[in-house]
Amino acid sequence: QVLVVESGGGLVQAGGSLRLSCAASRTTFSISVMAWYRQAPGRQRELVARISSGGSTDYADSVKGRFTISRDNAKNTVHLQMSSLKSEDTAVYYCKAKEYKGAYFMGSYWGQGTQVTVSS
């Protein structure tokens, strides 16, 4: 089964930057889509950014222009470069990978999450 592991979370001051990383391992088939979600206390988990294997990206309006998602298909890794961080960015950030065998969806796999805390 695919293993997804996030890293890079921590404490940062408002206006600062942080780079999250996620690696998918034990993959049998292709990882077509990787995404970052976040969940703050008392709030629903929300999509932050996602990227396809071809490099197409989507961002939540709240992070557009501040966050950048990128990936290395050869390594099955994805990164989230976060800049101009705000207090409202404080959340547990989760990485999700979708595995496909060609056009066949095999499964979605989640990481354990990494805490990002932005101090004001």
pLDDT value, residue 32: 83
What is the rounded distance in angstroms from the CA atom of residue 67 to the CA atom of residue 80? 7
Name residue, tokens 């889509």: 33
At 91, is the pLDDT very low, low, confident or very high (cuts 50, 70, 90)? very high
Contact 118, 87 (CB under 8 A): yes
One-letter amino acid of 80: L
pLDDT value, residue 75: 87
pLDDT value, residue 73: 84
Contact 54, 73 (CB under 8 A): no
Tell me what percent of the residues of the chain surpass a pLDDT of 90.
89
